[in-house]
Structure 1
Amino acid sequence: MKSKLKSKFIIDLDLLDVNKPIAGIEAIRELNPQRHEMEQLTAILYEDLDRNVCAAVKSVTEDEFWCRGHMPGMPLMPGVVMLESVAQLSSYFTQKNDLLGADIVGFGGVDDVRFRGIVTPGDDLILMVELVKARRNRMIIAAFQGVVNGSIVLEGTLRGIPIPIAAVEEQLARKG
């Protein structure tokens, strides 16, 4: 499936206010399992179930785990961390609205990803997703964008899949 790379924003930026989130980190933690340095969302800014869109902010600080090594003296948010942020937003929206019917939503893949700018400490990375397709118990597909200071820095299409918790626990038990 080709994503529709857009010159317009998924959500009108005028609707998003980082100072007035609709859900904070505790609400995100209720639905997403990531903790500590792997938490990549600061707050949820907007949701519209009629349009199947959601927006969040990742406030990037100098204390991010990647700053010291990517790259020394020039900290640039790694693309893979930007993608993780989008995946976490997609998971939050999917879980909140029970769109997949899964205990956990995992990364299923990305398509047509484009990095169009940089993200550095001090930036508010605005993340937006638009659910394109949901096949219960199978997969979700979401178009996404990342925006810093009104410019798109990231866009593409993400696939989310159900994670079978029992199978993961069984595999870990075999190793333990």
Structure 2
Amino acid sequence: MNIHKIQKLLPHRYPFLLVDRVTELKVGESIRAYKNVSINEPFFNGHFPGKPVMPGVLVLEALAQAAGLLSFETMGEAPGDDKVFYFVGIDNARFKKPVVPGDQLVLEVGIDRVRAGIYKFKAVAKVEGQVVCEADLMCTMREFDQN
């Protein structure tokens, strides 16, 4: 899946779109995608000056965006203007190694279970085959309320 298809499915845009390409997708099972981490990312200006590190919450967000792509393909629909895919929980998040400019962040997410519209995922982010982050993510689709 290239960036054009990703943008059709995810509402995120620069600077918050954190998936560049999907390299493998098994509907109802798993997804493998990546984010090329560039020194040009806006968060590196302040995190941290002289020692740039991708914030852990953004690594989790990249995993959640990959999970969203997997969910939309599994459901056979995109959220549209009236629905948004939200985090409802993050458990067992562990950060093993910093993500720095020049890294390719590989996102591997599998569906653990789906109950009552809530998806639970096992998610792992890797750089050069080494785990940099892992977590259990829970997400659900909800009506978008602008009020």
2:37 is aligned with 1:60: yes
Q: Which residue of 2 aligns with 1:75?
A: 52
2:6 is aligned with 1:31: no
Q: Deviations over 1:130-162 (max 9, x none)?
A: 1011125x3100000000011000001000011
1:49 and 1:163 map into 2 onto residues whose CA distance is 21
Q: Which residue of 1 aligns with 2:122?
A: 143
Pair 1:101–1:47, CA change in 2 (3 A): closer
2:115 is aligned with 1:115: no
Q: Which has the larger radius of gyration?
A: 1
Higher share of residues assigned strand: 2
2:109 is aligned with 1:129: yes
Paired residues, what number? 144
Q: Deviations over 1:32-80 (max 9, x none)?
A: 0001101001100111236x01010000001101111000011000000
Structure 1-normalised TM-score? 0.77
Pair 1:130–1:116, CA change in 2 (3 A): same
2:78 and 2:129 map into 1 onto residues whose CA distance is 34
More displaced, 121-130 or 41-50? 41-50
2:67 is aligned with 1:90: yes
2:82 is aligned with 1:105: no
Q: Which residue of 2 aligns with 1:161?
A: 140
1:82 Cα offset (Å): 0.3
Pair 1:162–1:92, CA change in 2 (3 A): same
2:49 and 2:91 map into 1 onto residues whose CA distance is 30
Backbone CA RMSD of aligned residues: 1.7
% identical aligned pairs = 28
2:27 and 2:140 map into 1 onto residues whose CA distance is 20
1:100 Cα offset (Å): 9.2
